[in-house]
Amino acid sequence: MPARTGQQYIEGLRAQEREVWLGGERVKDVTKHPGLAGGVRAIAHLYDMQHDPELRDTMTFPSPSTGEPVGRSFDMPQTKEALETRSKMMLNWARATCGMMGRSPDFMNVTFAAWGAAADFFGEKRPEFADNMRRYVEYIREHDVTLTHALINLQRSRNPTGMFNLEEGTALEVKRETDAGIIVRGARILATLGPLSDEIAVYSPRLARHSEDHSPFAVNFSIPCSTKGLKFLCRDSFDLGRSHFDHPLGSRFEEMDCVVFFDDVLVPWERVFLLYDVERLMPTEDAIRTRAYHLWEENGRPRGRDEEFWERARELIAIEDNPTAGQLPNPMKRHPRPGPRQRAHG
């Protein structure tokens, strides 16, 4: 299927019987529910833009597999011009929603395009995962799939280190393996666009090492939103049924956020991209580099303090890697370098 129209997107949602709960009631049809239908129409409009004669060349590109037009956000730009064109495509969608839908489909499309380009990374220890990633990226491109995602595990502890202290029965984890795939159980947040998507991608943030290099909480995969055992629990809708005049944003751009529950959900092997491998999630050096960059930005991008932010990042990563760590230090706090006298007498 080439780039979809808005009507094809809506029909795709209706074809999937998913379990969505909103306001204490199960939603029978997300395309008609008053708290969700406005968001469905907004996403459908984005897909219709792919077929606008004045925008088509920007919004789509020829499929590497079939030559038919597919969504531009699935592209893997190889030139400056291709990257700029993809940026224009994404800007068109952002302007169409007044910037109010931060998880429009292009968000996950470009994420998987990047992973597809780096598929060998997923296969360094298990080559089949690289093949899985390549095939999946082609699949979502050729079927113009709408994806939601869930990154963060539910946590019982609300202190800053709680997200690293994963507990059985709360956080999403792999319970066992079968010939057909892996069985996962637990919960994840925050699945923005969940009820309005075709599939959900689950990938893990950087984890504390519960063992040296193996954790049942370290898993990346994608499955249809209609998969048995998958449940979406929505927050209250911002679409209160008022007019566009009274509520110009909430009535049109409700993308919805959800807690997602996995009740012994089967993930087929061909949909698994990472399994148990903590180090694959983010090697320590990469984690330090990323954290140091964020600290540098948070402190106003000062010059001449590279070593300070690198060491500060190393401290924070070391604390996060220790499951028994206490309160995390404030990463916004400045730690000036000691002067010569302090170094000599400290």
Q: What is the CATH number of the domain that holds 91?
A: 2.40.110.10
End position of a domain, from candidates 248, 280, 312: 280
Long-range CB contacts for residues 248-253, cutoff 8 Å, separation at least 24: 249/98, 249/100, 250/38, 251/38, 252/38, 252/41, 252/42, 252/97, 252/100, 253/38, 253/39, 253/42, 253/97, 253/98, 253/100, 253/101
**Number of residues written out for the chain:** 346
Report yes or no on 211 lying in a domain: yes
Helices 284-298 + 306-320 axis angle, to 10: 120
The answer as to whether 1 is a domain residue is no
Does 143 reside within a domain?
Answer: yes
**Claim to verify: residue 270 and residue 298 sit in the same structural domain:** no
Q: At a CB cut-off of 8 Å and minimum separation 6, what does 321 contact?
A: 208, 209, 284
Do 317 and 295 form a contact (C-beta atoms < 8 A)?
A: no
Q: Are residues 149 and 122 in the same domain?
A: yes
Q: Are residues 157 and 45 in the same domain?
A: yes
Considering the domain architecture, whether residues 113 and 242 belong to the same structural domain is answered as yes
Q: Are 201 and 184 in contact (CB under 8 A)?
A: no
> Digits of tens for pLDDT over the chain (346 positions)?
689 999 999 999 999 999 999 999 999 999 999 999 999 999 999 999 999 999 999 999 999 999 999 999 999 999 999 999 999 999 999 999 999 998 999 999 999 999 999 999 999 999 999 999 999 999 999 999 999 999 888 777 666 555 555 777 788 999 999 999 999 999 998 899 999 999 999 988 766 555 557 888 889 999 999 999 999 999 999 999 888 998 988 889 999 999 999 999 999 999 999 999 887 876 677 778 888 999 999 999 999 998 899 999 888 877 766 655 444 444 444 444 434 433 334 4
| Percentage helix, strand, coil for the chain under 3-state DSSP, each rounded to 5 | 35, 20, 40
In a domain, 175, yes or no: yes
Co-location of 59 and 152 in the same domain: yes
Asked whether residue 132 falls in the same domain as residue 244, the answer is yes
Tell me which of 228, 245, 280 is where a domain ends. Answer: 280
> For position 207, what pLDDT does the model report?
63
- pLDDT score recorded for residue 346: 40
Q: Are residues 93 and 68 in the same domain?
A: yes
From 280, 309, 334, the end of a domain falls on: 280
Residues 258, 316, single domain; the answer is no
For residue 211, give the DSSP letter.
S
In a domain, 293, yes or no: yes
- Considering the domain boundaries, does residue 261 fall inside one? yes
Same domain, 241 and 182: yes
Residues 104, 197: Cα–Cα separation, whole Å: 10
6-15 — which CB contacts under 8 Å span 24+ positions?
Answer: 6/41, 6/43, 6/44, 6/45, 6/46, 6/47, 6/48, 7/44, 8/47, 8/144, 9/43, 9/44, 9/47, 9/144, 9/146, 10/40, 10/44, 12/146, 12/198, 13/40, 13/196, 13/198
Question: Is 184 inside a domain boundary?
Answer: yes
Q: How far apart are CA 1 and CA 50, in angstroms?
A: 13
* 53-77 per-residue burial string, b: 16 or more CB within 10 A, e: under 16: eebeebbbbebeeeeebbbbbbbbb
187 and 262 housed in the same domain:
yes
Q: Write down the pLDDT at residue 332.
A: 41
* 38 in the same domain as 87: yes
Is the pTM of the predicted complex or chain greater than 0.85? Answer: no
Residue closest to 227 by CA, chosen among 54, 29, 35, 19: 19
On whether both 290 and 274 belong to a single domain, the answer is no
Counting Cα atoms < 13 Å in the Cβ hemisphere of 149 gives: 18
* Token pair in block for residue 8: 């094809």
The residues, ordered by sequence, that sit 6+ positions from 58 with a Cβ below 8 Å of its Cβ are: 72, 85, 88, 89, 92
pLDDT of residue 212: 57
Range of the domain at 305: 284-345
What is the tally of structural domains in the chain?
A: 2
pLDDT at 65: 95
Contact between 55 and 69 (Cβ < 8 Å): no
Where are the alpha helices (H) located in the chain, listed in sequence order? 6-15, 37-49, 56-59, 80-96, 106-117, 119-122, 127-143, 278-281, 284-298, 306-320, 340-345
